[in-house]
Amino acid sequence: MGGKVYLIGAGPGAQDLITLRGARLLAQADVVLHDALVTPEMLELCPQALKVAVGKRCGQLSTAQGFINKQMLDYSSKFDLVVRLKGGDPMLFGRADEELRALEQAGVEVEVVPGITTALAAAAATKQPLTKRGVSRSVAFFTSSTAPEHADQPAVPDTDTLVQYMGGREAIATAQRMLDQGRRADTPVVVVENCSRPDQRILRLTLSTLARGLDAAHGPVLVMMGEALRLREHQAADDARHGQRLSA
């Protein structure tokens, strides 16, 4: 009998935003295969485990998915409890389908432990609900990143609030496409870099401003767009009083 593999969501970054179940399993793990976005503080929860970095970052040298799958299978044949630790939630833009297929085909027992996805953490950090009665009844999470065999630019979802993962420069193109489709130029946009971490940055702008460009980021970027993100009255007053749109 081989070991069991857990696909665990680490959440957006802050150590105390992982679930209790996730933290408990990390403390029991023999091996932890972790993404590049998993923070050193998160790995402090598994001091006893063999830690293996298998990160994939856009535009950087990355670990091939096939090799990650093989490592999960190899370690599960030698150890009882293997954790595949992923930023955010494993089931959203986390390549979980490929990993689950590999484990299931090999007959390896697997369980998924959800995590807080960055969109929800970003909404909390900015105090901007993604839905609002009478304003936003639908939300779409999407990314412009595609597999090589699907190189065409994906359509912009037709929802009230849009949240673009791995935004960065791709969000500039999204903003222009939304303007071309008739979205208002003053549609609120909130950009969150390094969500929930000590170096978190929040930028508030409009769709037309975003279409003109975005400064380079040094960490993962999430872009939220829609009327639900318009500042409430006291938020706008506080923003004007401090004289800044970018906060850390």
Catalytic positions, written as ranges: 35, 56, 166
Find the farthest-apart pair of alpha carbons in the chain and give their distance in angstroms, rounded.
64
Tell me if residue 164 falls in helix, strand or coil. Answer: strand
Counting every residue, how long is the chain?
248
Using CA atoms, how far residue 12 sits from 38, 164, 228, in Å, is 9, 15, 22
Residue that is written with structure tokens 């190189």 in the block: 151
C-alpha 99 chain-centroid distance:
18
Q: Which amino acid is at 88?
A: G
Strands 50-53 and 31-34: parallel
Task: Write out the two tokens for 42.
Answer: 């998160």
Q: How far apart are CA 191 and CA 235, in angstroms?
A: 16
Q: How far apart are CA 72 and CA 75, in angstroms?
A: 5
